[in-house]
Structure 1
Amino acid sequence: MNQYVLLSHILRQDTPSYGNRDKVIIRANSSIKAGETANSSCLILSNNHIGTHIDVPRHFSMEGKRTTDYKIEDFIFENCVLVDMPRGVACLLEPSDFYNLLIDSDVELLLIRTGFETKRGTDDYWNNNPGLSPDLASYFRGRFPRLRCVGFDFISVTSWKFRKEGKLAHKSFLVPEDGAREIWAIEDMSLIYAPLVIKRVIVSPLLVEDGNGSSVTVIAEY
């Protein structure tokens, strides 16, 4: 029997944001308790890159593809690998961190579990987070020719302590200068209960006009 686990955080008003600059606001529009006909809510995201969300090429290029430019099946991943790479302070994950890991060369979605998720709700989560090295994207393309997306349990590709490198890393994954294929990033994932063996992952973005990224619901089947 197939089982399922949620790999997204639920959007809440205390959802952390990169740089601690953005907010999620949830308030009632109508309320049965107030004698109105139905319950309805107002949801305001001050940035579409908050909570568990996906970065696509449009995020770093006006010519880049938007979330609405992809087929629905592009958001389904059949070959998924989870790797454990414990990190507790700001650092950059480098190609050398992956050299000795046994990872299927046909992987489509690579999930990186650092354990940093346990700091969510503290200032450390946004100002002392790990990030990805700009060199990782080209290394991944060379080693994993079918890789389409990476996901991880920290707040951004960019470490707050390595912002210059983070900008370059975003570009190297999403809009490489040599015209190589893009690799999406799913940031701020919940991987604490992710199983080591995953059959399939479905990523469901909120499809918005001119979407340069989107909140996503991520479900793993195992």
Structure 2
Amino acid sequence: MQDYLLLSHIVSQLTPAYGDKDRVFIKTNSAISKGDTANTSCWFFSNNHIGTHIDSAHHFCENGQKTFEIPIRDYFYEKVSIVDIPCTEAKLIDIEDFKTLTTIKPDTELLLIRTGYENYRGEDKYWNDNPGLAPELADYFRELYPALRCVGFDFISLTSWKFRVEGRASHKAFLCPTDGKKSILIIEDMALLKAPNEIDLVVVAPLMVEDGNGGAVTIFAK
């Protein structure tokens, strides 16, 4: 039987945040070890864009689609491609980085970008020296891969901390296109080190919250 994989990080109080500005707080409310009937706890996210999470269009466009408004079927991906673009410092991954890649399927629905930056996740380098995606990649992907609905990667944000102006433009290019082009969802801070080169199915399960500009996701693959 084929192994099932978890492509999202476990949420903890050590979860890194973009710009090192936010935190996850976990507190015990009741504990069997202390004589209580059950184990319960309080989970507090100071920002919903922390840990492995999805950005919906509403994150950067006022009238963009919210997480719970996206059809459920759009969280299931059967055409998945994963590419390796090694990075060890801040840079904008751009079209040139993709021109020589031949492993992306023409009918790709979900593109996973593995840079190896996950290796720095326990260091300040992970949030203050991270790579990002250049804005022009959005239309480049739309032209070459018309079925593409989502891009995920193993660094903390689509926006590089060293290229924040370009990062804001990139978020808008992916999430808020003009001229009738479709939005491409973004999954940030994924766990891809153990992902195989061939993936048959990815299921993305977001928290459905009324504000819906994005948030934590659990990602299963096989």
CA distance in 2, matches of 1:27, 1:44: 9
Query: Deviation at 1:129?
Result: 0.2
In structure 1, the residue matched to 2:79 is: 79
Query: Does structure 1 residue 137 correspond to structure 2 residue 138?
Result: yes
* CA distance, structure 2, for counterparts of residue 104 and residue 198 of structure 1: 12
Residue deviations 1:49-97 (CA, integer Å, cap 9, x gap): 0000000100001100001102221100000000011000000010111
Q: Which runs of 5 or more residues in structure 1 are unaligned? A: none
- Look up the match of 1:215: 216
Q: Which residue of 1 aligns with 2:112?
A: 111
State how far apart, in whole Å, the 2-side matches of 1:115 and 1:146 are: 26
Spell out structure 1 runs of 4+ moving beyond 3 A: none
Question: Match for residue 15 of structure 1?
Answer: 15
3-state SS, counterpart of residue 216 of structure 1: strand
Give, in angstroms, the shift of residue 179 of structure 1.
Answer: 3.0
C-alpha separation in 1, matches of 2:85 and 2:70: 31
Post-superposition shift, 1:178?
2.8
Sequence identity percentage: 56
Correspondence 1:180 to 2:184: no
What is the match of residue 164 of structure 1?
165
Q: CA deviation at 1:29?
A: 0.9
Partner of residue 70, structure 2: 70
Tell me which moved more, 25-34 or 154-163: 25-34
* TM-score, normalised via structure 2 length: 0.98
| Alignment coverage as a number of residue pairs | 221
Tell me the amino acid that sits aligned with residue 70 of structure 1: I
Using the TM superposition, give the Cα deviation of residue 184 of structure 1 relative to its aligned residue in structure 2, in angstroms. Answer: 0.5
Tell me, in whole angstroms, the C-alpha distance in 1 between the residues paired with 2:91 and 2:124: 16
Structure 2 distance, partners of 1:162, 1:110, is 22
Q: Which residue of 2 is the match for residue 58 of structure 1?
A: 58
**Structure-1 separation of matches of 2:16 and 2:211:** 24
- What is the distance in 2 between the residues matched to 1:49 and 1:179? 27
What is the CA distance between 1:133 and its match in structure 2? 0.1
